[in-house]
Amino acid sequence: MKAVLAYSGGLDTSVCIKLLQEKYSCKVVTVTVDVGISKDELKEAGDKAKKLGAKHYTIDAREEFARDYIFRAIKANASYEGYPLSTALARPLIASKVVDVARKEKADALAHGCTGKGNDQFRFEAVYRSKAPEMKIIAPIRELNLTRKESIAYARKKNVPIPVDLNKPFSIDENLWGRNIEGGILENPSTPTPEEVYEWTKIKAHEPEIVEVEFKSGVPVAINGKKLNPVELIVKMNELAGKHGVGRIDIIEDRILGIKARENYECPAAAALLAAHKQLEQLVLTRSELKFKESVDAAWSELVYKGLWTEPLREDLDAFIDKTQERVTGRVKLKLHSKSCSIITRESPYSLYSREAASFDEKADQRSMRGLKRNET
């Protein structure tokens, strides 16, 4: 049997290569999808997979991820329980690429390294089942009920190179839109998050910085007047907001299974761009549009969080969201400083704001307001 494994190069997926070979008698093909991983990590993952006896594919999907997933998330103001969706947003794209390779390789099974306690098992399998229902799904860590300590012990026994140890058993996932850190001492909500876990949001700038973001039809197209492609723009904003410590989130999250888990996120670009986008929407959309869109955005985010990217409702919601974004064009200036991101100006050719109507200093016939319905004021 041939199995194609979604491969990150981390502990669980590296252990899965050996488990698939030894416990499931599989020929293993690994797929690492670049959605914003460093070149060193990509090379290390490929080298490790080959060393462990797998045929390996590395797929550059950064542009597709930024354009078709992150930009949709911006238009939908996508967040779950107070943090921007990042890991959840990338999983359907990664799973789709794994299915593509499986068809190319004429494989019998699709595999992943998710545990039975997390969300990613649902996200991978929802795509696997919808796009390749005829293929078997293998989840070795879940099926063999392995703990993280047991996975580390197995890796050492089988000479599988791993990036973690028992003293710092953090599980880290990152892509262009965010970095997620969990596990180890972070599982105790009463323990402060150690500074060492952060990489993107270490404060390097100590003076306030003004950054202008330009949007066109709901998506960012330029920073400080310079047009950038989607990947470049997100990388640049991660750098600008990250050096001011913007985008750190420590949260108790309700997982799909109903388990509460402590999660730490670094999402500087997401925090800044979503804040700017929301302010521009407030300037150009009507009160009724804004109110209804809040519920649509929440429904969209919930679907993505639960791994239901292929659910037809998600595309239906996209149609409404895209319509609202036709006027979300303009510029927003942000002030970045000391872990904060504040809006200082916003402008748009589609602005619904009238200084004359709103100002207490401008002379206007206030009597004209007597006949307006409540929802028109």
Q: Give the residue numbers marked as catalytic.
A: 12, 91, 120, 171
Tell me the longest C-alpha to C-alpha distance in the chain: 83
Compute the distance between CA of residue 12 and CA of residue 154 in angstroms, rounded to an integer. 10
List 2's β-bridge partners, or say none.
Answer: 27
Residue type, 30: T
Who's near 84: CB < 8 A, 6+ residues apart? 73, 78, 177, 178, 265, 267, 270, 271, 274
Whether the CB-CB separation of 53 and 29 falls below 8 Å is answered with no
Side-chain-facing half-sphere of 316: CA atoms under 13 Å: 7
Q: Report which of 194, 213, 204 is spatially closest to residue 244, judged by C-alpha positions.
A: 204
Residue in the block written with tokens 């993952």: 45
Query: Whole-angstrom Cα distance, residue 182 to residue 269?
Result: 20
Q: Compute φ and ψ for 59, nearest 5 degrees.
A: -120, 125
Task: Return the bridge partners of 181, or none.
Answer: 172, 264
